[in-house]
Amino acid sequence: MKDKVIFLIGIMNMVISCETPINSLEKKKINYQELPKPVKERIFSLYGDLPEEEQDRIEYKHIFRDLNNPPKYEYYTKQEFFFRWIYNGYIKNKETKKVYTLKKEITEERGSEFIIYGDSLYIPNHYNIYEKDSLSYTFTRFILR
């Protein structure tokens, strides 16, 4: 019985360790003016010129855009094991298969817009953002490595 418990704990550690929380990545707080031009152009209009049928895809419903051409990352959600009503967001590098969890700390304020440009993830530090107030916003840039 003891061997089975140790085996299960080992399997759980392997599953958990395959996912990197974004809060553990190198990050920098930046102002709106410091955002790269493609990110500035898309942050308030995530759908942009996307056809309506494409807007129904899961990653766009959860306000995720990979501005790389071709896209390097994909977005998906997964149900919590114990709390089945909670779905967590994940970003996966298509080449390396490395997975990043988008869980946030309880004490931090963070918007739900996720934009990837190059190997950086940009997230607003505010819940609701509007273009007319853009100069007052800050963002966090996470380096996806």
State mean pLDDT over 27-37.
92
CA pair distance 57, 27, nearest whole angstrom: 28
Helix (H) or strand (E) holding 38: helix 37-42
State mean pLDDT over 93-99.
92
User: What pLDDT shows up at residue 142?
Assistant: 92
Prediction pTM value: 0.76
In sign, the C-alpha dihedral spanning 46, 49, 50, 51 is: positive
| Cβ neighbours, 10 Å, residue 113 | 19
Structure tokens at 103: 């869980």
State mean pLDDT over 30-55.
79
Higher-confidence position of 136 and 122: 122
User: What pLDDT shows up at residue 9?
Assistant: 53
Residue percentage of the chain with pLDDT more than 70: 72
* Residue 16 pLDDT greater than 50, yes or no: no
